[in-house]
Structure 1
């Protein structure tokens, strides 16, 4: 070879092509087989750049079905059902002649260009969830009519929640739905996304393509070089720097090409100099270096596409880039030839890889970004079908608050009409947080916001801050009243009841004259005896004032009057007033307008919860079932779900635990914070019954953090009662007192002793166990006096428990046993079988302490069987150990294995009191055991700790950390009775 030939060989450059699919034969075969043989959902999961989209497109090229391909936008544009709507538009440009029913009229908001081809729009629904459900059914009807056999969603981690609900809807009818395929990145799925629930269902086929090995890397590079071989050294180098990620390999090769660092030597392609070339590990850097080597027109079109997102027509790209169309087309052609862009069947262009689009977008300066977004918004305003959410985004980024606010408002209205209130809330919150709306317009915007769709209390607190700032500004009196009213509503929502009440009282005078309906709502909020320091009489006064305002109105709307009557009955019951039962019986039985139906359903739900507070569980179930039936019939789906949560808790109380287990498992991922909080609390209660108190405590604390604040008026759903019960079971009575302090002070201030039914026995017991016997007696007396005479079964059972605890602490186990047995009977009547069993266990322990062994052992056997049947493994295990101490063996072990050299829970109970200097007799009285049983536990603990004396045992357990240092609170028994 001559010198010239040698030089020519070195500088010869390849013609780069699009890489073929490499190393995916097995995945492709598995995908096809899953679609052919197994109905259900197929998911392709993996990190960015692993080749999910390429694998999917290869599959689509081989399938005979009509495919609907929805691509979720990379920047998570809040456009309800946008990916699916765009996919349908790409599949057909008209729906004339399709076999559609009147239901398809619900599609008009999302396909306005087909208004003349679709049936008339149906009547609006008052519930957003019902509207969303109807829209999804209509969309499924359209998909069926189009003959879609394969429904594909790409980048589902960016899908809006309504699109994911559509997939769940389709999954619920597998025999009639098209086959479903989606791609997503697990690391980018939001914690509460419905996608988690979707991919966790049974019948899902999951593929996770892995990175390429060195041989696969060589094959991919070779496919870009016309099939010519690649040196082993070069392939190894690329694999080391890219970890075999196909996108990173491709971008690195293209960068080497742009640098003229690819050479062919001895028939194999390699890089020019291993020592000198350092391929950037970041794809972003590789993409930006490649774009910097393009001409000005190509760079301008790439910037325009990065701002526009998705696939776009060249004419639109030219307009946004500010180029003549021929020049823009030349720039696009250059970018296409360089492999950065691709072209679809409609001659639209877009980035081949999302990461490339992001890299270009992030590299734009703020001024350039704003300029391009302004051009994009102006260009898209001229389109026949306006995507108002997209326009809102562009004008927000362009710094045009007026047009941002106009389009965001339209997008929010569209989202609400489509049954997607969460997106609407986010759009309007962005306007307020971004300062696009000021002054009196703030309260008008807040009034439009679907507050129930807020993802937690954080965004609501943000709204409170905005409203506070607005209220401090210059406003006319009516405007100030409106802002104050909205601020008070929001403060109620986030749990600042004290502050909200003060703001509400300021707003009422201005509302009475101009907005009487709002005034009644404000007064009814003030009538709710929530977290303020006002006594019950204060709330009753507001209730009566609201009633007078309703009666004074000449013609109140039927639904407004019904709303008041329902709320009045429930409020009286929460105030502990038996007149609420009469008011509930006298409620009108008619009213079939949509507004009246909603008020009846809502009212029955509130009455059901109030009945649970009283312990009238049969009445509660009747009311809640009625609310659930109305909500289901009229598609008030959110209300239906909230009632379902209350029913699940009622099932827990009444011993039907299989239902709550299923409900909480499905609701832990709920989008609604209140549902998620209830699910966490219920899961914590089940964990505690199973013996996992650590996890139960974590769940209860998480419930407090996630949902709206609950208090003693929520009865057994008050997290403070759950935390107190767990603290007592763990031997931390001081912690139990701290958990109930705020609730107890509230009850004392308001003199609403019915609210204390759940916490009174726990607080009395914690006071006794911390040596505050006189205070415990005063608390029990106050509770008994405040609830005596009320026909509230739960209060009756609680009074008997407190009496039993006091008798046991006084050293009278016989009298204590009698009270525990009476409490067990009261719990059984409710029915609350779990609490009844725990009370019977405590009664039997007292009988043992009194020397009545035979009858007590028989009762404990029955309690063990009952707890085991319920599924309360942790409690059953405790009873097993008590029986074992008496020489009685029952069944096979339930729950954790034997304790070996570890101290059992009952031994720890005894040793904690021993460390405090208690005698065996004192320990027996505190724990409700016989002195002989206490001695057994002491000797067993001494043996396990190899302690020759009680003093040595005390030192050993303190040094090991099993028992707190002396001076800490004494340990109560693990039973909650």
Structure 2
């Protein structure tokens, strides 16, 4: 070829190079300054492919301190503490020479290969949270001993909760190491601790944005030897990729592979601009590039896609099924093609997680199974077995025995590390995947931390598995165990009738084989919830349980009178304490005043972790039972005791549940601001019962403010997401709340329908204390529908059923019922006196809101009799009280009554002008924004549209002079506009 011909022919480079960092000088400077000058965490946030990892790599390249880089892989099952544990393994060959204390013995479960170098393992703790805290403290000590000055966590959106708790612990110390993490906000779960971590005051948050057209041109040029690119080419790529660096890079490599990228007249351009169609998705770009590689390179890519993360070449070759020479050629080709990269230890991995997932999803089902089987077999031979990974590989390979074995080991490690949610998920997958059979099913169900279940759905799936297992060919003893676990789960998900029948059938076998389980079964049957059995039926089971455990009727701290009853074999002091606590609460729920004496005589002992948990749980149950009686002082005392024990001993889930009960008690007793804040924070809680309670409280607030339709929606939502509640839950029974809303909205038929089921249940069980909330509502509804005789029969039945019962709530409800009947009979003077008596009874509990409503009705009767002066005086007091509580809808109704009576009340102030100050609604939005809520979530909490939320956010940004939502959140916390966010309740 002549020189002239060569000059006229478009040339191609040897291949696109690795792009340099483009357009990130300001971000890099901000990160470096934050690490050097400011305390707290540094967070790099952005979507996939925006360049977070590259920015972090550039930052760390020049750091003087010792750096520990932990990378969170996109495992479908989180590997508890895996990112940090693996990073520590890469940093240290051993720990024999490190100055570690006895606390480091807690690290043995996560570093089994260093067992001979670590101190002895400490005594086990009964509580998961305490075990987790000890393990995290030990790991923090190890990081300090290694001299780590900077800990970087990459892809934190994939981190397990325990790893995030470690960061919270390290951040709280305000000592070394400094912390920096990268994450994708859109991939963070609503209940993830990561939201709490990055929302703290003092967090420096960097959000690299997409490149502009000029930045796109610079990045492409850096891949092509520094030569310029045409403006048309740069604009084309920018338009197609929206300036996402990863997408730009992938498209350049694709264009090059197609020979559609040429250099003419000193500038890079693409052929035939009009006809070339660059795929808009990275997936298509990755798969087309992969298809151009040879078979060996393709096998290497498939093996790494199945393995996930970074791995040594030998393991990759074994999983790929390639001879060493072919594997080396395939690795070299994949590296040259830019799909793979090597780390400092020569381990191979995809350059981007998106590419790995694209290759994995393109594999056929048979190919996936074969590769997962190879991966599992290869990883089994490693010195340190990563059991969570092994469980994943054998699950995908369809190797059920090994899947079940490794999943159980991984669940054990997760529980030991304080991560029960992961443990539940691992075992749930094994059971629903039918990897366990026969008696193994019951054994695994028994081991599952049911309190960590994410709602009733997974539990109902386990019920189906147990039903199927119970119907298979099992030995009698095995079937008893399976049915016992089945009945327990059915109780848990609310199938009370079926659960009771199953449990009653197996009690005789449990008495013979497992007395402790028999006592628990009898106590479940003694709970008068969800069935139509009369109270006497439940009381009989309660007495039988007492006889079996040696603490029969009339005994709390000692055995019953008469012949001594020895504690049956297999029961413990913890079992006895559990029975005594549950017996007192069950008696109260059964409407038996003996429960108060049983509660007063509870033993003071019980110092073991298990006994402490039983005391905390028992006090929580006693508090709820006291609320059913309307003895709110006793309720608060027991609930405070439960909360204190749960907090001190780190029973986090129980503490959250007690907090929900206390929030409802605060609503009843007129302390409304606290419950409102609690409900807002719990609407996105991981625990379904917390979300249900939050929705129920929000519905009560909505009704009081006059938004009846939204109140109905909230209560319907509470019924949909929470465990079934009924009249035994008193004021937390959704049917009672629905009836209250319907009465306020003037829909008596709807109110009667809402109370039908509860009323029938009370009649069947003859537990009239349960009707204290619904009886006045039902009487109102029947009177409103013109069914006065039926209303009178309901009032008489309730009065007779609660006669002589020292239950303040029953007293108030009876007085209110007689007032309603007197008014219906036209006895307005007597009705006014009875409404005032009911108000006094509500005040005594205290329930100020209900007392104000009763006084409003008394005033209405006074007005009807012509006693205007007295009525107006009462209505003014009621108006002031309702306004102070925040019951604005009710206050407006009273205002109208005053106006009808010719009395004037100052109108509420109109919308004020706030100037540069944030309005109350803007502050509401900002508080939720700081907690990490999206606009849609904020809209749901505040009852606004997402568009209105955005208007409030932009208004607040303008007033504070900040350019982004993140900067607004930081400024709001630092200025004190909103407090530092509290933890969101979770399971």
Task: Provide TM-score, normalisation by structure 1.
Answer: 0.88
Asked if 1 retains the 8 angstrom alpha-carbon contact of 2:312 and 2:347, the reply is: yes
Q: Deviations over 1:345-364 (max 9, x none)?
A: 11112111111101111111
1:825 to 1:894, Cα distance in 2 relative to 1, 3 A: farther
> C-alpha distance in 1, partners of 2:371/2:302?
8
Shift in Å, 1:394: 0.5
| Worse-superposed segment, 791-800 or 763-772 | 763-772
Aligned match of 2:864: 849
Aligned match of 1:715: 730
Aligned match of 1:323: 322
User: Size of the alignment, in residue pairs?
Assistant: 896
Verify: 1:863 aligned to 2:872, yes or no: no
SS of the equivalent of 2:9 reads: helix
Aligned match of 1:565: 580
SS of the equivalent of 2:163 reads: helix
> C-alpha distance in 1, partners of 2:658/2:754?
27
> C-alpha distance in 2, partners of 1:244/1:734?
60
Asked if 1 retains the 8 angstrom alpha-carbon contact of 2:13 and 2:224, the reply is: no
> C-alpha distance in 1, partners of 2:901/2:408?
72
Verify: 1:90 aligned to 2:90, yes or no: yes
Aligned match of 1:372: 371
Q: How does 1:929-948 map to 2 (within 5 A)?
A: none
Q: Pick from 772, 777, 781: which aligns with 1:757?
A: 772
Q: Pick from 804, 821, 824: which aligns with 1:809?
A: 824
| Worse-superposed segment, 797-806 or 102-111 | 102-111
Q: How does 1:91-170 map to 2 (within 5 A)?
A: 91-170=91-170
Asked if 1 retains the 8 angstrom alpha-carbon contact of 2:77 and 2:422, the reply is: no
Verify: 1:459 aligned to 2:458, yes or no: yes
> C-alpha distance in 1, partners of 2:597/2:744?
40
> C-alpha distance in 1, partners of 2:431/2:367?
25
Aligned match of 1:737: 752
| Worse-superposed segment, 55-64 or 375-384 | 55-64
Aligned match of 1:608: 623
Verify: 1:581 aligned to 2:596, yes or no: yes
Verify: 1:341 aligned to 2:340, yes or no: yes
Q: How does 1:292-331 map to 2 (within 5 A)?
A: 292-331=291-330
Asked if 2 retains the 8 angstrom alpha-carbon contact of 1:42 and 1:182, the reply is: yes
Aligned match of 1:419: 418
Shift in Å, 1:714: 1.1
1:123 to 1:662, Cα distance in 2 relative to 1, 3 A: farther
> C-alpha distance in 2, partners of 1:38/1:738?
61
Aligned match of 1:681: 696
Asked if 2 retains the 8 angstrom alpha-carbon contact of 1:102 and 1:119, the reply is: yes
SS of the equivalent of 2:77 reads: coil
Asked if 1 retains the 8 angstrom alpha-carbon contact of 2:15 and 2:256, the reply is: no
Aligned match of 1:487: 486
1:62 to 1:766, Cα distance in 2 relative to 1, 3 A: farther
1:721 to 1:18, Cα distance in 2 relative to 1, 3 A: same
Aligned match of 1:238: 237
1:415 to 1:864, Cα distance in 2 relative to 1, 3 A: same
Q: Deviations over 1:258-284 (max 9, x none)?
A: 122211101101112224422122211
> C-alpha distance in 1, partners of 2:698/2:147?
43
1:261 to 1:448, Cα distance in 2 relative to 1, 3 A: same
> C-alpha distance in 2, partners of 1:685/1:32?
50
Asked if 2 retains the 8 angstrom alpha-carbon contact of 1:13 and 1:262, the reply is: no
Shift in Å, 1:499: 0.9
> C-alpha distance in 1, partners of 2:93/2:864?
84
Shift in Å, 1:65: 4.1
| Worse-superposed segment, 499-508 or 152-161 | 152-161
Shift in Å, 1:850: 2.1
> C-alpha distance in 2, partners of 1:174/1:872?
44
Asked if 2 retains the 8 angstrom alpha-carbon contact of 1:877 and 1:894, the reply is: no
> C-alpha distance in 2, partners of 1:647/1:288?
56
Q: How does 1:320-719 map to 2 (within 5 A)?
A: 320-551=319-550, 552-554=565-567, 556-719=571-734
Shift in Å, 1:147: 4.1
1:707 to 1:114, Cα distance in 2 relative to 1, 3 A: farther
SS of the equivalent of 1:10 reads: coil
> C-alpha distance in 1, partners of 2:592/2:99?
58
SS of the equivalent of 1:249 reads: helix
SS of the equivalent of 2:272 reads: coil
| Worse-superposed segment, 210-219 or 777-786 | 210-219
> C-alpha distance in 2, partners of 1:698/1:850?
39
SS of the equivalent of 2:86 reads: helix
> C-alpha distance in 2, partners of 1:452/1:699?
25
Shift in Å, 1:490: 0.7
SS of the equivalent of 2:152 reads: strand
| Worse-superposed segment, 739-748 or 113-122 | 113-122
1:175 to 1:869, Cα distance in 2 relative to 1, 3 A: farther
Aligned match of 2:78: 78
Asked if 2 retains the 8 angstrom alpha-carbon contact of 1:307 and 1:373, the reply is: yes
| Worse-superposed segment, 573-582 or 15-24 | 15-24
SS of the equivalent of 2:210 reads: coil
Q: Deviations over 1:668-704 (max 9, x none)?
A: 3332222232233233333433444443333322222
Aligned match of 1:969: none
The two structures, once aligned, show a CA RMSD in angstroms of 2.2
Aligned match of 2:848: 833
SS of the equivalent of 2:43 reads: strand
SS of the equivalent of 1:183 reads: strand
| Worse-superposed segment, 390-399 or 59-68 | 59-68
Shift in Å, 1:852: 1.6
> C-alpha distance in 2, partners of 1:90/1:883?
77
| Worse-superposed segment, 852-861 or 682-691 | 682-691
Q: Deviations over 1:436-471 (max 9, x none)?
A: 111221111111111111000000000011111111
Q: Pick from 796, 801, 825: which aligns with 1:786?
A: 801
Residue segments in structure 2 that go unaligned for 5+ positions in a row: 551-564, 913-987
Shift in Å, 1:601: 1.9
Aligned match of 1:880: 895
> C-alpha distance in 2, partners of 1:136/1:667?
26
> C-alpha distance in 1, partners of 2:664/2:117?
48
Asked if 1 retains the 8 angstrom alpha-carbon contact of 2:53 and 2:154, the reply is: yes
1:722 to 1:141, Cα distance in 2 relative to 1, 3 A: farther
Aligned match of 1:907: none
> C-alpha distance in 2, partners of 1:128/1:509?
33
Asked if 1 retains the 8 angstrom alpha-carbon contact of 2:102 and 2:119, the reply is: yes
> C-alpha distance in 1, partners of 2:524/2:342?
59
Asked if 1 retains the 8 angstrom alpha-carbon contact of 2:105 and 2:119, the reply is: yes
